[in-house]
Structures are given as structure tokens and as C-alpha cells.
């Protein structure tokens, strides 16, 4: 397998990495500041207790979710997506998942899975996790303050469900957000359903169908000629000027981050059901598309809390908008943007069209994230078409960025194995390469209109 990508291992010179980024070249970058999990977590702002609190709040609101969105009735109002094995896609990519050890009859080979947040109910993207959670947290705060809930743990499921009847109360308040698309969908759809005045400030990168969908669900859409940062800045300014308005700040929101983090425990439960072991012989690798960083950062945190050093997490970003790679590799975090090194920030992957990474998330990821990969736009539609042809699954182009680091690591492993010993051979210590379970995190796509899907798949006449 040929990767056609530059691999910067942990000892690489910083200047060489930045030169490759500035040249909009595809690269795979190992994070040189990553620490063992037990050390890294000591520097983090959040811990398992914070994830527990977020999960408990989501369960309290499940009766309201089920009432507002009957499509969640099968899961009892819990918003979750399936995990599906995609062996034919692995074959299409030229990846092999063979036995991890000839010495053990019980040790099986790795597997390639797709985590289908592309098909999360209500919003059809990963943003249904953090975005909806933040709206619910704000709703609970307002309801307790107004006496609609006690907030002391004694409220019944019926009390939460009854909030659906208080649109008169919530309509006095606004919820606003700046977005390239998917976060706007989750915030706008959820806020409008509860009764808020929902305002989504959308950048020029946002797709027209997402704007139409928001308006059809009762949200207001304000369009901007500028990029993501401009939409966020203006949305924040307008919201701050209104005492009845709440702004969901994708760049620095703790609520968003913790809502995403609940994915780790849920993934563990799903892997258990599938019979997927995660141990030293069967480590986990997770590949997630990255925009400003909130969703992948929160998911990474949740996964590391569950699996520690048994899990690797890699982010994927467009070559013209590698804001998290740039922030971490330069050491400047959110103190640098992609335009500072001559990049445009423009990409077909609309949800990843972000020029400056989240300060909150980049600080949290500094000693936790395993690495990043940058992806040329020209690879997105081919990955999308391969997945559809192999598995019959449709995800949006930005989601497909996550296949690139998987492909690149596979090629690097083949090259390493070829330089040491025949594939599958044991080393001098008698051990063999681990049998990885690889998970590609599909972040959006199920809400795409049929005509958009057909165009992207090349099925139009």
C-alpha cells in the first residue's frame, strides 16, 4: 500500500513540520508532547466525575427528548449511534486485519469499524452529542431558576417531559450559535423544538441544504460572507448584547466538550456487545475529523478515560485548514491561525473549515492526543464513493477525512514490517505486532438531501 504522505514521527524537527503544513502537503504527525495517560490526566481540567455528571443529565432529559423526538423512542430518549464493522471497506483500502499472534489460539485479528455519528438522531451528526447537551444544560438551569424543576435530584421523569409544554416560558429566551453547519443544526433544531428563539450565524462555508433544513425546523439563519471565525464573532457580539440570549461558543465551551466526552463510555459498552476486546494484544485506534476541536477533543478525552494507553486517537484535518495540527505542532495552540502560514482555510469539508483551533481543547489535547493527519480535498469524494460502493453507507465528505490517517498508518506499518521481518513474523523477544481494532468516526451525513448525495457519489445523469 502506497501512502503518498509525509510521516513526521515524534522526534521530527518542528520547522520541517511547519514547512509541510505551510506547503499544504499531506502529512501524518506524531505528537511529541504526548504523555502516558496516568501522567497526562493530572494536567487536565476535567475528569471522570465531569463525564458522569454529563451522562446523568442526559438521562434526566431522556423523557423530554423522547417526547419531542419520537424517533428516539426505541432508545428511550437516549441519543446514540451504532457501531458497524466494515470489512469490505477495509479490503477496498488495501488494509488487512489478520491474526495478531501465531502463539495464541485465542488471540484474534483486528477489525475495522465505523462509529456512525453520521446517523445520530435529531441532528444527523456528531454535534448531536455536545450541541444538544449544552442546550439541555442551559434549559435545566433556566427551569430550576424559574421553579419548573427543583434541581435537587427529586424531579420525576414526568417533570422533565412536561417541559415540552412550557414553550410560553422558553420563547422569551434566545439561543444563538456560530457555525459552518453541523453544530448549527444540532443547536438550532434542539432549541427551536424546546421553544427558544434559535439563531444560527452561518459562515460562507455552510452548505445551502443545511440552511434550508434549519429554517424548516423554525430556526433563524443569519448568513455571512466571511469564514467560521467571522460568524462566531458576530454571533457572540449580538448574543452578548441581549440579556435574554445564550451563546453556544464552539471555541471555548466546557458544556460542548463534556457532552462529546460521554461517547467514550458508550463506545466501551458497544464494543463489549460486539465482543471486541481492548487490551495490550488488541489495542484501539480511533480516527476523528477535526474542525475547531470540540467534538474530537471531547471524544478523545472520553475514550482515554475509558481505555487509557490502550487507545490511540488521531485527528484528521484538511490541508488548507489544519488548525489543530498547526496549534499543537507549533506550540502556539490558539495563538496562531492557518492564514499566518499562508493557507486559505477554504475546503470542501465544510465542517472542518476552521482557521484557529479551540484554546480550551488544544490545551487539553497537548499531552493526550496521539497525532494528526492532514488530508487533501481530492481524497474526500473517492473515500465517500468507496464506502458507499463497499458497504452501502453514505457519510458526508468531511467525515471521510478520517479514512486518510487510517490508510497512512497502514502504509507506514507495512513499510516498517518490510524493513524488519516478513509480515506477521515475531520479533526477537517472541512478541508480534498488536492486532488493532480501528474505528473511523463518521461525523455527519445522514441528513444530506438525496440530490446532494447523488451528486457527490457521481450518480447524476
What confidence tier does 461 reach under pLDDT thresholds 50, 70, 90? low
DSSP-derived secondary structure for 147-175: TS---SS---HHHHHGGGG-HHHHTT-EE
What whole-number distance in Å separates Cα of residue 236 and Cα of residue 245?
10
Owner of C-alpha cell 473549515? 353
Grid cell for residue 318: 484538511
**More confident position, 2 or 234:** 234
DSSP letters for 82-104: -EEE-HHHHHHTT-----S-TT-
Domains of the chain: 6-47+78-120+260-457 (3.40.50.1100), 126-256 (3.40.50.1100)
Q: What is the mean pLDDT of residues 6-19?
A: 96
For cell 490526566, name the residue: 41
Average pLDDT rounded to a whole number, residues 273-293: 96
DSSP state of 33: T
Phi, psi of 220 (to 5 degrees): -90, 140
* pLDDT at residue 130 is higher than 50: yes
Q: Which of 390, 380, 394, 399 is nearest to 451 (CA)?
A: 394
Per-residue pLDDT at 420: 53
Indicate the pairing of strand 174-179 with strand 111-116.
unpaired
Mean pLDDT of 46-55: 98
Q: Rounded to whole angstroms, how far apart are CA atoms 375 and 5?
A: 9
Instruction: Classify each residue of 70-106 as buried b or exposed e, where b means 16 or more C-beta atoms within 10 Å of its C-beta.
Output: eebeeeebbbbbebeebeebbebbebebeebbeeeee
The whole-number average pLDDT for the span 198-203 is 94
What integer pLDDT is reported at residue 345 of this predicted model? Answer: 95
At residue 432, the pLDDT reads: 66
Asked if residue 16 lies in contact with residue 8, where contact means CB atoms within 8 angstroms, the answer is yes
> Does 186 score more than 60 pLDDT?
yes
Question: Per-residue pLDDT for 424 more than 60?
Answer: no
Question: H or E element: which one contains 247?
Answer: strand 245-248
pLDDT exceeds cutoff 50 at 106: no
- The overall pTM is greater than 0.85: yes
Residue 40 pLDDT exceeds 50: yes
Name the phi and psi angles at 7, rounded to 5: -110, 115
Task: Provide the pLDDT for residue 177.
Answer: 96
Amino acid at each position: 500500500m502506497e501512502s503518498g504522505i509525509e510521516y513526521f514521527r515524534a522526534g521530527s524537527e518542528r520547522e520541517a513540520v511547519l514547512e509541510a503544513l505551510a506547503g499544504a502537503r499531506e502529512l501524518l504527525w506524531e505528537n511529541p508532547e504526548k504523555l502516558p495517560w496516568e501522567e497526562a490526566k493530572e494536567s487536565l481540567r476535567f475528569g471522570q466525575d465531569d463525564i458522569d455528571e454529563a451522562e446523568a443529565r442526559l438521562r434526566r432529559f431522556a423523557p423530554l427528548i423522547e417526547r419531542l423526538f419520537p424517533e428516539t423512542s426505541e432508545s428511550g430518549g437516549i441519543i446514540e449511534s451504532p457501531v458497524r464493522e466494515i470489512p469490505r471497506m477495509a479490503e477496498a483500502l488495501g488494509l488487512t486485519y489478520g491474526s495478531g499472534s501465531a502463539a495464541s489460539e485465542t488471540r484474534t485479528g483486528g477489525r475495522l469499524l465505523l462509529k456512525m455519528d453520521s446517523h445520530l438522531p435529531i441532528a444527523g451528526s456528531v454535534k448531536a452529542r455536545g450541541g444538544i447537551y449544552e442546550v439541555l444544560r442551559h434549559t435545566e438551569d433556566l427551569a430550576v431558576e424559574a421553579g419548573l424543576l427543583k434541581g435537587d435530584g427529586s424531579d420525576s421523569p414526568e417533570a422533565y417531559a412536561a417541559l415540552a409544554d412550557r414553550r410560553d416560558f422558553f420563547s422569551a429566551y434566545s439561543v444563538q450559535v456560530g457555525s459552518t453547519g453541523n453544530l448549527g443544526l444540532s443547536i438550532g433544531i434542539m432549541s427551536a423544538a424546546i421553544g427558544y428563539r434559535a439563531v444560527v450565524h452561518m459562515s460562507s462555508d455552510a452548505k445551502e441544504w443545511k440552511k434550508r433544513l434549519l429554517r424548516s425546523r423554525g430556526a433563524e439563519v443569519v448568513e455571512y460572507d466571511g469564514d467560521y471565525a467571522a460568524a462566531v464573532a458576530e454571533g457572540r457580539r449580538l448574543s452578548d448584547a441581549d440579556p435574554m440570549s445564550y451563546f453556544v461558543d464552539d471555541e471555548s465551551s466546557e458544556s460542548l466538550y463534556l457532552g462529546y466526552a460521554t461517547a467514550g463510555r458508550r463506545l466501551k459498552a458497544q464494543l463489549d456487545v460486539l465482543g471486541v476486546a481492548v487490551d495490550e494484544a488488541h489495542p484501539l485506534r480511533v480516527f476523528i475529523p477535526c474542525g475547531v476541536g470540540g467534538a474530537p477533543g471531547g471524544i478523545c478525552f472520553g475514550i482515554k478515560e475509558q481505555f487509557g494507553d490502550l487507545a490511540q486517537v488521531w485527528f484528521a484535518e484538511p490541508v488548507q485548514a489544519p488548525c489543530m495540527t498547526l496549534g499543537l505542532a507549533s506550540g502556539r495552540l490558539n495563538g496562531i491561525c492557518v492564514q499566518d502560514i499562508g493557507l486559505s482555510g477554504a475546503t470542501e469539508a465544510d465542517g472542518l473549515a476552521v482557521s484557529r483551533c479551540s484554546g480550551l481543547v488544544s490545551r487539553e489535547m497537548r499531552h493526550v492526543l496521539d497525532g494528526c493527519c492532514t488530508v487533501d480535498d481530492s481524497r474526500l469524494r473517492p473515500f465517500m464513493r468507496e464506502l458507499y460502493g463497499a458497504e452501502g453507507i453514505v457519510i458526508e465528505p468531511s467525515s471521510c477525512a478520517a479514512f486518510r490517517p487510517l490508510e497512512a498508518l497502514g502504509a507506514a506499518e507495512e513499510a516498517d514490517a518490510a524493513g524488519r521481518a516478513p509480515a506477521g513474523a515475531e520479533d526477537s523477544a517472541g512478541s508480534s505486532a498488536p492486532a488493532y481494532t480501528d474505528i473511523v468516526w463518521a461525523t455527519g451525513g445522514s441528513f444530506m438531501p438525496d440530490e446532494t448525495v447523488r451528486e457527490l457519489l457521481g450518480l447524476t445523469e
